[in-house]
Amino acid sequence: MDVLYFAWVRERIGLPREAVETQATTVMGLVDELRAREERYAAAFADISALRVAVDQQLADFDAPLDGVREIAFFPPMTGG
Amino acid sequence: MDVLYFAWVRERIGLPREAVETQATTVMGLVDELRAREERYAAAFADISALRVAVDQQLADFDAPLDGVREIAFFPPMTGG
Amino acid sequence: MRICVQEAPFDFGAETAAFAAGRSVSGAVVTFTGIVRDVTGGLVAMEIEHYPGMTEAALGEICSTAITRWSLEDALVIHRHGRLETGEMIMMVATAARHRKDAFEAAEFLMDYLKSRAPFWKREITAQGADWVAARDEDEDALTRW
Amino acid sequence: MRICVQEAPFDFGAETAAFAAGRSVSGAVVTFTGIVRDVTGGLVAMEIEHYPGMTEAALGEICSTAITRWSLEDALVIHRHGRLETGEMIMMVATAARHRKDAFEAAEFLMDYLKSRAPFWKREITAQGADWVAARDEDEDALTRW
């Protein structure tokens, strides 16, 4: 699936988007896999209370299932307006 | 002093403005003098709870004093906006 | 602060653009515009009477109160009188503040006060005749919020 | 309903005028505009990142919710992204309803939601560097009102 990063999450990980092969069944499972990859991922996902997630462009919780999902995005709380 | 009438008060009395000589010391005293004049005044001032008054272009109460006042206006509740 | 009481139409787009462009410290601009509507059916036109002199004074006082209370950078009120057809703009207010909450509240305050405390009287002209619009209790009640 | 997510500036006067002129049943039009401000001193520019695709979807959903809840005749959201200088307009919303209370509430609802639920991220550029703007607790708290 495609994993997207925005704002300081993008900066910390160093790329805006990547294709990820995962065995995880929930968003949190995917986060744990990413954390285990490299220090920059561990740093970006150190405190998930500071993060928000969108599943197929809809805001979701970290326990959301990944079944059939094509796009996941991680980003800090939004600051529009 | 000048006495002004607006909206249906003006229509009921039949004129927008007139100079009035009065001995009254309060707005209510003036209202009583006007009521005693003619039926059209009595009709216009029949229910003062339906009226508002401005003394020298400031909203006022019916017990406001007339000392030094140059202009009194009677009108229904305002409907601006 | 600018108060305009006028019979002529105003250019809403030009007024809002000029008001917003004139800002130096405000991050938030709110505008409100009232338009003549045929709510009950059969409205031919609206006539608005006002009290020259007192109208400008009352609007100025309401505006000054809002500027002080919400620390506005600026406020604008334009209110027409005379005969207006359905679809014409009756009036507008604009407020500018650092934060959106202040700009919104001040605009609502201006509207609530000029509905019930500025000397305008509306009359609806229909094929059957002309009727003075009665003040609504809820407009008077709206003032208790402030 | 019209949702625009764009890098280019928008013409606030022309947008507000067109929005108000397009009304047929509404007696009340409210607009809000946000302007880039140098609040702390030293701001060079603001950069706004967004999530193409999700941004339009989220704004559309927020707008549809407002239209239904306040029986709006229409609503408009324009939000810019990319680099904006101090004094430039970031975004605007407009709402049209029969009564002023609905138009005001719907505009405040749109603002509260697009602050915290539309995928935009602001970064302030100063001489010292660039800082992501932190979400404010009060913006999140504002949602509990609705």
Instruction: State whether A80 and D120 contact (CB < 8 Å).
Output: yes
D24 vs B71, residue with greater confidence: B71
User: Least CB-CB distance to C132: which of B8, B59, B80?
Assistant: B8
Enter the ipTM: 0.94
Instruction: State whether D119 and A76 contact (CB < 8 Å).
Output: no
Percent of chain C's residues with pLDDT above 70: 100
What the block records as the tokens of C82 is 């005379």
Flag whether residue D118 sits within 8 Å of chain A, measured between CB atoms. Answer: yes
For residue B60, give the chain C residue with the closest CA. C117
What are the CA-CA distances from residue D52 to residues D10, D119, D121 (Å)?
19, 9, 12
C86 vs B48: CA distance, rounded Å:
33
User: Least CB-CB distance to C31: which of D24, D27, D30?
Assistant: D30
Cβ atoms of residues C116 and C135 within 8 Å: yes
Q: What is the CA radius of gyration of chain D?
A: 16
Q: Count contacts between A and D (CB, < 8 Å).
A: 70
pLDDT value of position D11 = 97
Taking alpha carbons only, the member of D92, D72, D81, D89 closest to residue D122 is D81
Percent of chain C's residues with pLDDT above 90: 89
User: Least CB-CB distance to C25: which of D30, D37, D98?
Assistant: D37
Provide the 10 A C-beta neighbour count for residue D78: 22
Give the DSSP letter of residue C29: E
B47 vs B74: CA distance, rounded Å:
12
Alpha carbon of A66: minimum distance to chain D alpha carbons (Å): 18
B and A touch per CB criterion (3+ pairs under 8 A): no
pLDDT category at C39 given cuts 50, 70, 90 is confident
pLDDT category at C24 given cuts 50, 70, 90 is confident
Average pLDDT taken over every residue of chain C = 95
For residue C109, give the chain B residue with the closest CA. B81
**Can you tell me which residue has the tokens 């607790």?**
D137
What the block records as the tokens of A13 is 């990980």
Flag whether residue D49 sits within 8 Å of chain A, measured between CB atoms. Answer: yes
User: Least CB-CB distance to C116: which of B73, B75, B78?
Assistant: B78
Instruction: State whether C12 and D31 contact (CB < 8 Å).
Output: no
Q: DSSP letter string over D9-43?
A: ---HHHHHHHHHHT-SS-SEEEEEEEE---SSS-E
Instruction: State whether D135 and A80 contact (CB < 8 Å).
Output: no
Angle at B27 between CA B21 and CA B32, to 5 degrees: 70
Taking the mean position of all CA atoms in its chain, how far away is CA C119? 12
pLDDT category at C72 given cuts 50, 70, 90 is very high
pTM of the predicted structure, to 2 decimals: 0.95
Alpha carbon of A81: minimum distance to chain D alpha carbons (Å): 5
What the block records as the tokens of D22 is 């397009």
Name chain C contacts of D98, Cβ cutoff 8 Å.
37, 39
- The answer, yes or no, to whether residue C126 has pLDDT greater than 90, is yes
pLDDT value of position D125 = 95
pLDDT value of position C46 = 96
Taking alpha carbons only, the member of C133, C104, C115, C122 closest to residue C30 is C104
Name chain B contacts of C135, Cβ cutoff 8 Å.
76-79
pLDDT in tens, chain D (146 residues): 999 999 999 999 999 999 999 888 999 999 999 999 988 788 999 999 999 999 999 999 999 999 999 999 999 999 999 999 999 999 999 999 999 999 999 999 999 999 999 999 999 999 999 999 999 988 888 899 99
Neighbours of chain D (3+ CB pairs under 8 A): A, C
Flag whether residue A79 sits within 8 Å of chain D, measured between CB atoms. Answer: yes
Name chain C contacts of B4, Cβ cutoff 8 Å.
51
Residues 6+ apart with CB under 8 A from B55: B27, B64, B66, B69, B71, B72
- The answer, yes or no, to whether residue C84 has pLDDT greater than 90, is yes
Helix (H, G, I), strand (E, B) or coil at B43: helix
Flag whether residue C35 sits within 8 Å of chain D, measured between CB atoms. Answer: yes
Flag whether residue C2 sits within 8 Å of chain D, measured between CB atoms. Answer: no
What the block records as the tokens of A51 is 């993060």
What are the φ/ψ torsions at residue C76 (nearest 5 degrees)?
-135, 135
At B8-66, the pLDDT tens digits run 999 999 999 999 999 999 999 999 999 999 999 999 999 999 999 999 999 999 999 99
Alpha carbon of C6: minimum distance to chain D alpha carbons (Å): 19
Cβ atoms of residues D10 and D4 within 8 Å: yes
User: Least CB-CB distance to C29: which of D24, D33, D108?
Assistant: D33
pLDDT value of position D41 = 84
Flag whether residue C143 sits within 8 Å of chain D, measured between CB atoms. Answer: no
Q: What is the 3-state secondary structure (H, E, C) of C93-144?
A: EEEEECCHHHHHHHHHHHHHHHHHCCCEEEEEEECCEEEECCCCHHHHHHHH
What are the CA-CA distances from residue C103 to residues C37, C75, D32 (Å)?
26, 9, 9
What are the CA-CA distances from residue D20 to residues C73, C82, D10, D110 (Å)?
25, 21, 16, 18
Helix (H, G, I), strand (E, B) or coil at A12: helix
Flag whether residue A78 sits within 8 Å of chain D, measured between CB atoms. Answer: yes
From first CA to last CA, the distance across chain B in angstroms is: 30
Name chain D contacts of C12, Cβ cutoff 8 Å.
16-17, 20
Instruction: State whether C116 and B8 contact (CB < 8 Å).
Output: no
pLDDT value of position D90 = 97
D127 vs B4, residue with greater confidence: B4
pLDDT value of position D22 = 87
For residue A81, give the chain D residue with the closest CA. D115
- The answer, yes or no, to whether residue C56 has pLDDT greater than 90, is yes
